[in-house]
Structure 1
Amino acid sequence: MALPEILDILADWPGWSTAFDIKRRQERSGSTSGRIYVKDIGDPLWVASYQTVSLRPNDLDRWRARLDALEEGGRLFYGRHLARCYPIAYPRGSWTPASFSGLGAVASLGANRKSLTVDDLPAGFRLQEGDLIQIGAHDLHRVVENATANASGVTPLFEIRPHLWPLAAVGQPVSVLRPRCLMAIVPGSISSTADLATGRGTISFDAIEAR
């Protein structure tokens, strides 16, 4: 059986995402007033670092094989922040009603291209600064302004980063459950060492969003 085109290696990753942030590609210049001016020279991309706990020799080799399948960045995987699989207000999906699937929809887009409203949420559903949401198939955003859905399940306008991508549109799904983007391993970043006495070891690697 052939492997899927995009792998989901983090579904049972035995460790953590030790870093998950936005990498802004900018040039900077200073002025005599002391102010720093920045100009975007490329789209912002998510970057992440992942590390396992200490693994037994057999598990270590199994995970080495899984990372080999990603071909040092030649194949893509679903990247996610493992601490933000659910909104902060709802650990392990403890929202009401329990039948909520974790999917809302874009109700409107802000003219500034960095804000939106979301509908199809449970009444009173809360999004907080630091939550992650996924718009459409792979667009990952961080919530930077608190928002609470009204009795009809619609949030007020709230801001996100990075800014909305060009293809963002009203009606697209908005996922608050295990939001993700497409990522590739940064070539040369995989570290896999074992202890001489026990054979146990850890694996770590860096990744960057692939659009």
Structure 2
Amino acid sequence: MAISYPRSDILTLTGFVPPFTFDMAPRQELSRLAGGTTIGKDFGPALWAATYTTEDLRNDVMLDYQAVLASLDGVIRTFEAWDLRRPAPRLYPSGVGANDGKLRSVAANQRALSLSGLNAGQTISRGDYLSFTYGTNRALHQAMETVAANGSGVTAEFEVRPFIRPGFTLDATVNLKAPRGLFTLVPGSVEPRQATGKHGSLTFQAGQYLE
């Protein structure tokens, strides 16, 4: 049976332990002229970068998972990934009480958006994630402030990071209950570590994928 991509099982087939990271990687550059003038350059919205470490695995399970990672063919194939610290909304960790929404508006500065289609009073907490598809890409953003939907299920505009890239479509479905981004492996980052003769773990890095 053919493997389907993006793989949705990379972070569900095993458990994970520290150290793990999930951060925005700015695409910026800082330079200084001979006279000391500092020039900052921003080459576009930040991309998400992550590091994952599996729990201690028996050798046969470790080899099984290593084969799963190998099926990604290095940087060629994509998979779904997210922040292990907040895989779901802070106030709705099981999804109960939350509803996915629709992209209602995007601010002119592309730093903020509003949503519709939520439950009345549904709250998006600062630090929550949201994702939506635009074209062949998957946007993944984090709320920078807490906002609650009104009685009609509509929020005021709230800031998100990274900035919203061009290509979005208003009324797109926004995943709030289980937001996921598309990622590829960082070349050469898969590192098996043997703890004992019968057990080991795997660490790997991932970077957000955009076409």
Tell whether the structures are fold-level matches, with TM greater than 0.5: yes
Counterpart residue number, 1:106: 103
Q: Deviations over 1:125-171 (max 9, x none)?
A: 11111110002251000100111000110011100001111011210
Q: Does 1:154 align with 2:154?
A: yes
Counterpart residue number, 2:21: 19
| Pairing of 1:80-119 with structure 2 (within 5 A) | 80-95=82-97, 102-119=99-116
Q: Distance in 2 between matches of 1:118 and 1:16?
A: 34
Q: Distance in 1 between matches of 2:153 and 2:76?
A: 41
Counterpart residue number, 1:170: 170
**8 Å contact kept, 2:22–2:50:** yes
What residue identity is the alignment partner of 2:78? L
**8 Å contact kept, 1:55–1:202:** yes
Q: CA RMSD in A?
A: 2.1
Q: 1:55 to 1:39 in 2, by over 3 A?
A: same
More deviation, 176-185/151-160: 176-185
Q: 1 or 2, which has the higher helix percentage?
A: 1
Counterpart residue number, 2:206: 207
Offset of residue 72 of structure 1: 1.9
Q: Distance in 1 between matches of 2:38 and 2:177?
A: 38
What residue identity is the alignment partner of 1:204? T
Q: Deviations over 1:77-123 (max 9, x none)?
A: 1121122221111122232xxxx5x4200111111111111010001
Q: Distance in 2 between matches of 1:87 and 1:30?
A: 42
Unaligned runs of 5+ in 1: none
Q: Distance in 1 between matches of 2:29 and 2:175?
A: 33
SS at match of 1:50: strand
Counterpart residue number, 1:68: 70
Counterpart residue number, 1:127: 124
Q: 1:31 to 1:126 in 2, by over 3 A?
A: farther
What residue identity is the alignment partner of 1:146? T
After TM superposition, the runs of 4+ consecutive aligned structure 1 residues lying more than 3 A away are 29-32, 34-37
SS at match of 1:27: strand
Count how many residue pairs are aligned between Structure 1 and Structure 2.
Answer: 204
Q: Does 1:7 align with 2:17?
A: no
**8 Å contact kept, 2:45–2:165:** no
What residue identity is the alignment partner of 1:84? R
SS at match of 1:136: strand
Unaligned runs of 5+ in 2: none
Q: 1:158 to 1:41 in 2, by over 3 A?
A: same
Identity %: 33
Q: Distance in 1 between matches of 2:124 and 2:83?
A: 16
Q: Distance in 1 between matches of 2:37 and 2:198?
A: 53
